[in-house]
Structures are given as C-alpha cells and as structure tokens.
Amino acid sequence: MLASLLGAAVLALAAYDGVVIGRALYVGGQLARESSPYSQQPPNATGALLVVGDSTGVGTGAEDPADSVAGRLGQALPNTRIDNLAVNGALTEDVLGQLRDAPLPRYDAILVQVGGNDALRFTPLDRLAADIAAVLNRAGERAPYTALMSTGDLGAAPALPWPLAPVYSARSRAVRDRFLAAAREHGADYVDLFTGASDNG
C-alpha cells in the first residue's frame, strides 16, 4: 500500500523535479557545499523511503531542503521515514555504494535520482548502461518499488551556447534512452523529464 502511495507521489512531482534538476546541474560550488539532503525520522513511522543519487537527490538548487523532491515527499507522507544518502556530484556508479550504506535492510520504496553528471562528464554509454542496470538490480533487492528520475535536456539550459547545446542534447537523449530501457527491464518506474523537440511531435 505504501509503495503505491509513494509511487503516485513520486510521479506527481515530476514537473517540479524538472525545475530543480535544471538549477542543480548548473549551480556553483558554494551552493552545492551549503546544500544538505532532506531526511526525516518520525517517531512512529509507518513506512520507509530511501533516496539515493546526485545533487538532484540532495535538492541542490532548491531554496530549502523541504522544497526538494525528498522534502515534498516528506510533506505528502509525514509518517514515512526518509533516509537520503544522495551526494552532490555523484555518478551512477556511485549510487551502488549509497545503496550498500543504507541504514535499513529493507525499504518500502527507493527513489534514484541520477544521470546528469554522467551526461555532463561523458561516461561511456556502455558502462553507464551496465551501471544503471546494477543500481536498479540492487534497489530491487532492497525494496518492492523503485522510481528512477534522470536529467532532462541539458542542451536546453541557457548557460550552454551553440555548439555545446546540441552536443549535450544528444548526450541527454542517449542517457535517457539507456535509463528508460533499464527501468523497463527491471520493473522500475521511469520519470521522463526529457523535453526534446522530437519527443513532442
């Protein structure tokens, strides 16, 4: 039951998360250092959610941790324990360590927010596909429900002029395609934030 509620809440936050991701991937180092991931431990928790990933999981770019995706999930589900192990700058391969370090042996749901740094740093796509498959496999061992959120179209960011914009749009699409395929294979919900022109026609 809780997994269903968490799933609905995660998917409902997709539009908001697109705003946070857009800011988080282009903030300065000082803002990243000042950011802290949102967690909550209600005394009589009726469920548990684990958040792992990069700055989008931390909530970097949000005005307040409570305004991050994890924070908004906490507001929607006040009796749910939220452990947030996301780290600024994390790559997909780093999420395996976050899952390993999670304090509870089992969760009702896991939210994975990652992929933007792999797009920006040009992680080889074959390796990235293997990394996200391993992450989703490990998440599936720890929870009955997993949601995967990745980056939108990085090339659409105003900070990226031509000719960089089309390069990063292509990278974003390539990451999206591999994450979407992995989510389908592993039975995870994929929150699709990509808004490339060819997706709209």
Residue 74 lies in a domain: yes
pLDDT value at residue 8: 61
Within a domain: 7: yes
Indicate which CATH number applies to the domain containing 48: 3.40.50.1110
State residue 10's pLDDT score: 62
Picking from 16-25, 54-63, 190-199, which range would have the lowest pLDDT averaged per residue? Answer: 16-25
pLDDT of residue 12: 56
What is the predicted pLDDT for the residue at 68? 85
Before 166, cis peptide (omega within 30)?
no
- Report yes or no: 50 and 142 within 8 Å, Cβ to Cβ: yes
Tally the domains of the chain.
Answer: 1
> Is 200 within the bounds of a domain?
no
147 in a domain, yes or no? yes
User: Which residues span the domain enclosing 69?
Assistant: 2-194
Q: Which of 52-61, 109-118, 143-152 has the lowest mean pLDDT?
A: 52-61
In this model, does residue 189 exceed pLDDT 80?
yes
Predicted confidence band of residue 36 (pLDDT cuts 50, 70, 90): confident
Assess if residue 201 is contained within a domain: no
pLDDT on residue 161 = 77
d(CA 10, CA 12): 5
pLDDT digits (tens, 9 = 90+) for 40-92: 999 999 999 999 999 888 887 667 778 888 998 998 899 999 999 999 999 99
pLDDT at 108 over 70: yes
Q: Using a pLDDT cut of 70, give the percent of the chain over it.
A: 79
